[in-house]
Structure 1
């Protein structure tokens, strides 16, 4: 004779049994605590062993029109403030400008080098990873928001503020006419 057994039907519930879930978590409490302690240890080790990285930035804004009057009155060269800012930004973004500054100030860049690196490799790494030119959105090109920014990231032990300020001052102290010809 055949027997017919009834298979219990599985009813899908849209509810979550929070009590069962908490019981499941409570059963695994030692494993969860061990993982949390391990992650705390790893995070603490990283915080104490990682070299801190600092960031310095500076902004150059357009010169007032009366600051360029002496140049414009000579009628040798007419220079609007926005154009002056763009040219200074182009000079600061120039590979040659940065390389000549790097070569003129080797003591400032000693901490960037690693054992066995040539000065050219140190400069390439510095130029690629540490120094960045920031410009405003070209879609919002009004005189009130015109600026050129320089950002520099540097590790602990490097005089990053001195490097960045001297780079800007080095190029701003040059005679104005030399920048633009």
Structure 2
């Protein structure tokens, strides 16, 4: 037998009844207010008891051009003010700089010390988030000026402005020391190079001087040897010429003796020898032929030969001998060599020595510490803030009240749901329609 179960359509309304919801919340308004007041009181207590944190910051900008002009004019070291500002910013960002400042000024961080934590550990924790480097945004090309800043967030009890200003002064002094050390290194290297150049120039000059002296003495020696050889040859020539003259005179005397010529005579006068002249005549004979030597007569020839044989030196017979002897006497002393050897200060004759010594004296007198007074301009020094940046008391109280309200509403809703819980109808337990379910039961 088939049973057919039919029911009228049943409509269900799953929508939330807002009026009933609001009415339920209003009935539990004292619960919501109590929770809100409790959470708000906790927020107020936290805002009042929490350790306040303050912020101190300082801004650095590039110094004026005149600060590095004198140092740049030395030519030893080129200082760029923007680069110096960047280097100081890198130093401020460096952990080693901060830790070195902390080691030298631990009194500024005594307030950080906590039970169970050393001062170094407290500084390590603070350093991770407290320090911030301020710099222009790289994406903003229209920035009016370049700057570097340091921001420090610190708890109450720490002298934040003293930490910021001290750390910046410490970083500037460290950078000044580094730049001065770099300049001193460059100056020392330049001075060493100059000393090497001066020493090399002196050695080279001494070698050149000795070489010049040796060349002058060698030239004098060669010239003296040539003059001596020339003088010896010339004397030999004069001696040979004297011996030849003696031989000629001897031969002429023999001829004159045979001809009976004892006095100087001429060929024409030979025809009148033996003839007596009644008148005293003076005879003049002119001819263009050389008269033989024996016409001088034996007396003249003998006298000349005797004089030639008695001669001890023939130097006076040739003026060139005197010229050679003069040159030999001049070669006994080379005045240029004597002047070179008598130089008391050879540095006066070094062409570049005066310039090198001037540069050396200038570098030795250079004091880079005096030329590095203003590395950067402190555009904004750190000062004590008027109020802490956290905790933000008003915001904490407002958030506490909002959170208390939300928590109170949630508790009220949960209470309403728990108090109004009823058994669910069959239609909510079975997702199939009732008619279809009955038909399945009949078939079974």
The TM-score normalised by the length of structure 2 is 0.36
Q: Distance in 2 between matches of 1:10 and 1:162?
A: 73
Equivalent residues, number: 179
Instruction: Work out whether residues 60 and 148 of structure 1, in 8 Å CA contact, stay in contact via their aligned partners in 2.
Output: yes
Which one has the largest radius of gyration? 2
Gaps of 5+ in 2: 183-444
**Corresponding residue for residue 5 of structure 1:** 7
Q: What's the CA shift string for 1:14-54, capped at 9, x where partnerless?
A: xx976444323212212211111111111111012111111
Q: Distance in 1 between matches of 2:114 and 2:70?
A: 47
Distance apart, 1:121 and its partner CA? 1.6
Q: Distance in 1 between matches of 2:80 and 2:143?
A: 11
Q: Distance in 1 between matches of 2:115 and 2:11?
A: 72
Q: Distance in 2 between matches of 1:67 and 1:120?
A: 38
**Corresponding residue for residue 77 of structure 1:** 77
**Corresponding residue for residue 403 of structure 2:** none
Instruction: Work out whether residues 88 and 175 of structure 2, in 8 Å CA contact, stay in contact via their aligned partners in 1.
Output: no
Gaps of 5+ in 1: none
**Corresponding residue for residue 289 of structure 2:** none
Instruction: Work out whether residues 56 and 161 of structure 2, in 8 Å CA contact, stay in contact via their aligned partners in 1.
Output: yes
Greater mean deviation of Cα atoms: 56-65 or 86-95: 56-65
Instruction: Work out whether residues 130 and 154 of structure 2, in 8 Å CA contact, stay in contact via their aligned partners in 1.
Output: yes
**Corresponding residue for residue 50 of structure 2:** 50
The TM-score normalised by the length of structure 1 is 0.82
Q: Distance in 2 between matches of 1:151 and 1:36?
A: 38
Matches within 5 A, 1:26-175: 26-140=26-140, 144-173=144-173
Higher RCO structure, 1 or 2 (CA under 8 Å, sep 6+): 2
Greater mean deviation of Cα atoms: 109-118 or 171-180: 171-180
Higher strand share: 1
- Taking only aligned residues, the RMSD between alpha carbons, in angstroms, comes to 2.7
Distance 1:146 1:18, change over 3 A: farther
